[in-house]
A and B are shown apart, each in its own frame.
Chain A
Amino acid sequence: MSSATSKPRSPMAAPRSFLWARRIFLTLLTGFVLVPVYVMISSSLKPLQDVSGTFRWLPSGLTIRPYIDIWSTVPLADYFVNSAIVASAATVCSVVIAVFAAYAVSRYRFRGRRVFTVTVLSTQMLPGILFLLPLFLIYVSIGNTTGIALFGSRGGLILTYLTFSLPFSIWMLIGYFDSVPRDLDEAALVDGCGPIGALLRVVVPAATPGIVAVAVYAFMTAWGEVLFASVMTNDTTRTLAIGLQGYASQNDVYWNQIMAASLVVSVPVVAGFLLLQRYLVAGLTAGAVK
């Protein structure tokens, strides 16, 4: 969000009480937000004795040793690859499916339209724990009858995660597509594009911020999920969410390595999120909160 698009509340100067309240509040909040981030970064550069003994704000010496050791203590690279494959595939599939579904709801009046949106949204309410075991049993029986390995495989995890982000994505894109003027796709239809052509050539480009926002959300959902990963992965398909616990189960807890690994794992998503956050705010403004 550039400052040009945001609306200042009023042209008049804010009173002193407001400015002081703001200053104090934001200072305290910044501290609360930053302390764990500081702990994560500083501890990842500390030698082991610094993180095993009493906590120290400043390291006794800086070392990049933890960043080298993390790759051999647990097979972090394998977990990384698994998470990257699962999260990317889930994101791409989820966005494509959500674009088509949202287009249908936004541009067509058909029987069952409302039932569909309400059903999809209400799946957000379902406790994950309720369908974890049945889903596990379904995947196992699909594997037994058809030979398609969903349980323990990346495919099964991709399938599961993409449906997690689907409801929110569809909901947000419906709002976003609604805000794209209908005249645009009608012009494309007159020009000889079919409905799908109009969607791909006109609506999708006009709704790019919304689509980026949805993709960010889908990737973060898949990258951070713990519950299903804990049950549905095996040694070869383990994702970072579960793999990271490996550092704690060693005889000595290498907190500096845990922090280094956490940082390495977080950087791709945090960087991506912060780079694309303006799209997310724009997407939410146009879609979800309208």
Chain B
Amino acid sequence: MTADIPMTTTTATAQVDKQAAPGKSPGAARGPRRTGRIRRIALPYLLLLPALLLELLVHLVPMAIGILMSFKELTQFFIRDWTTAPWSGFDNYQLSVDFDAPVGEALLHSFLVTCGFTLLSVGLCWLLGTATAIFLQDTFRGRGLLRTLFLVPYALPVYTAVITWAFMFQHDNGLVNHVLHDQLGLTDKPSFWLIGDNSFIALLTVSVWKGWPFAFLIVMAGLQNIPRELYEAAALDGAGMWQQIRHITLPSLRPVNQVLVLVLFLWTFNDFNTPFALFGKAAPEAADLISIHIYQSSFVTWNFGTGSAMSVLLLLFLLVVTGVYLLLTSRRRKTADV
């Protein structure tokens, strides 16, 4: 597939050379001009072709197959040739949403955990990112250093950041217990952070630590586009710093926030890297995010049909939320403009 790239490039360049010829001599015969026109129409499609083919191969076709697989009884016996697995209708879906049975109950629990986690993580990331961007808007000494520093968590590869946090959350030799128990005496005995209920807090902490600089980066970029005259006019009208933030900065950021919150939501909801690097293949129940739950249901128990059905349900949920979100926020923006 990678061979496509140079190929398309050369055909496109060759085409340009040919195309340039009729352009230079307006009196050329009708034939070449017509092929030139066809080529001009074809050119954008040719330019898009590599991207399109790759998206088809890696995203869209697998998605279609994933949807097909969700209607099959796909266990390890059929993995060599999945097409031979027997059709099972909506069995996989029924199994997934039967909340009284163990499989459905566990899925519902994982879904609710993911919702809570996503709301908190996105909220905190947005809050930290926006506050920091606003506080770093004016020049002061050390501003450039802080900005660079704050981007470090985002620049670190997920797994090294998570491994470091996993070390800090260790029961016997971790920093967190040392500070909370040994130094501050806040807990009676050292707590377990990577198993049991505390694992939710651990996961949330790591997720926010890693995620907020992205919000900071986007909001910082968004702030650059606010015209300075707005602030000057507000200052002339006697608006103080806090009022300027409330009445100019935050409203001006609304279009940026619309996209930022959506992207943060989708990434956090689908996040696999963080819980996988923190807990391994099986997450504790309190931090059982949906991606890792489905991974566990498919690859550890070798039941791919059910895993696919769960993924399709997840996709449908994300589609509905995204649609409703865009509808609501766009409408609000429109009424706000009027």
Contact B20 A194 (CB under 8 A): yes
Contact A226 B155 (CB under 8 A): no
Please measure, in the bound complex, the distance between the C-alpha atom of A25 and the C-alpha atom of B278, giving whole angstroms.
28
A155 / chain B contacts, CB cutoff of 8 Å: 2
Contact A170 B157 (CB under 8 A): no
Q: Does A151 contact B (CB under 8 A)?
A: no
Of B88-96, B100-108, B164-172, the stretch lying at the interface with chain A is B164-172
Contact B225 A39 (CB under 8 A): no
Task: Count A-B pairs with CB separation below 8 Å.
Answer: 321
B295 / chain A contacts, CB cutoff of 8 Å: 129, 132, 227
Q: How far is the CB of A217 from chain B (nearest CB, A)?
A: 11
CB contacts under 8 Å to A, within B30-71, are 41, 43-45, 47-48, 50-52, 54-55, 57-63, 65-66, 69
Contact B66 A131 (CB under 8 A): yes
Given contacts A120-B51, A131-B58, A134-B69, is CB(A266)–CB(B157) below 8 Å? yes
Contact B291 A127 (CB under 8 A): yes
Given contacts A129-B295, A131-B66, is CB(A108)–CB(B43) below 8 Å? yes
Q: Give B297's nearest chain A residue, CB to CB.
A: A129
A116 / chain B contacts, CB cutoff of 8 Å: 48, 52
Contact B163 A123 (CB under 8 A): no
Q: Does A86 contact B (CB under 8 A)?
A: no
Q: How far is the CB of B243 from chain A (nearest CB, A)?
A: 10
Given contacts A97-B54, A241-B157, is CB(A127)–CB(B311) below 8 Å? yes
Please measure, in the bound complex, the distance between the C-alpha atom of A20 and the C-alpha atom of B169, giving whole angstroms.
32
Of B115-123, B195-203, B228-236, B327-335, the stretch lying at the interface with chain A is B228-236
Q: Does A215 contact B (CB under 8 A)?
A: no
Contact A266 B156 (CB under 8 A): yes
Per-position 1/0 for B187-205, Cβ under 8 A of A: 0000000000000000000
Contact B221 A265 (CB under 8 A): no
Please measure, in the bound complex, the distance between the C-alpha atom of A284 and the C-alpha atom of B65, giving whole angstroms.
35
Q: Does B276 contact A (CB under 8 A)?
A: yes
Q: Does A262 contact B (CB under 8 A)?
A: yes
Given contacts A104-B47, A134-B63, is CB(A127)–CB(B149) below 8 Å? no
Q: Does A3 contact B (CB under 8 A)?
A: yes
B1 / chain A contacts, CB cutoff of 8 Å: 159
Please measure, in the bound complex, the distance between the C-alpha atom of A227 and the C-alpha atom of B45, giving whole angstroms.
32
Given contacts A33-B152, A33-B153, is CB(A11)–CB(B235) below 8 Å? yes
Given contacts A37-B152, A125-B266, A129-B294, is CB(A289)–CB(B222) below 8 Å? yes
Q: How far is the CB of A20 from chain B (nearest CB, A)?
A: 11
Q: Does B256 contact A (CB under 8 A)?
A: yes
Contact A97 B51 (CB under 8 A): yes
Q: Give A37's nearest chain B residue, CB to CB.
A: B152
CB contacts under 8 Å to B, within A269-290, are 269-270, 273-274, 277, 280-281, 284-285, 288-290
Q: Give A283's nearest chain B residue, CB to CB.
A: B221
A132 / chain B contacts, CB cutoff of 8 Å: 295
Contact A244 B159 (CB under 8 A): yes
Q: Does A233 contact B (CB under 8 A)?
A: no
Contact B138 A9 (CB under 8 A): yes
Q: Does B109 contact A (CB under 8 A)?
A: no
Q: Give B42's nearest chain A residue, CB to CB.
A: A110
Q: Does B113 contact A (CB under 8 A)?
A: no
Contact B44 A104 (CB under 8 A): yes
B12 / chain A contacts, CB cutoff of 8 Å: 100, 196
Chain B contact residues (Cβ within 8 angstroms of A): what range? 35 or more
Give the residue of B63, B244, B299, B311 whose beta carbon is less than 8 angstroms from that of A231: B299
Q: How far is the CB of A97 from chain B (nearest CB, A)?
A: 5
Q: Does A40 contact B (CB under 8 A)?
A: yes
Contact B221 A51 (CB under 8 A): no
B261 / chain A contacts, CB cutoff of 8 Å: none
Contact B135 A25 (CB under 8 A): yes
Contact B158 A226 (CB under 8 A): yes
Please measure, in the bound complex, the distance between the C-alpha atom of A230 and the C-alpha atom of B158, giving whole angstroms.
14
Interface residues of B (CB under 8 A from A): 1-2, 5, 8-9, 12-13, 15-17, 19-20, 24, 41, 43-45, 47-48, 50-52, 54-55, 57-63, 65-66, 69, 82, 128, 131-132, 135, 137-139, 143-144, 146-161, 163-165, 167-168, 170, 172-175, 177-178, 182, 209, 217-218, 220-226, 228, 231-232, 234-235, 240-242, 244, 249, 255-256, 259, 263, 266, 270, 272-273, 276-277, 290-291, 294-295, 298-299, 304, 307-308, 311-312, 314-315, 318-319, 322
What are 9 A-B pairs at a CB distance below 8 A? A12-B235, A18-B241, A43-B167, A103-B47, A104-B43, A131-B59, A159-B57, A240-B159, A285-B221
Interface residues of A (CB under 8 A from B): 1, 3, 5-12, 14-15, 17-18, 21-22, 25-26, 29-30, 32-37, 39-40, 43, 51-55, 89, 93, 96-98, 100-101, 103-105, 108, 110, 113, 116, 119-120, 123-135, 137-138, 155, 158-160, 162-163, 166-167, 170, 192, 194-197, 220, 223-227, 230-231, 240-241, 244, 255, 258-259, 262-263, 265-266, 269-270, 273-274, 277, 280-281, 284-285, 288-290
Q: Which 7 pairs across A and B sit closest by C-beta, in order of nearness?
A: A194-B16, A131-B62, A130-B311, A134-B62, A284-B221, A273-B155, A262-B160
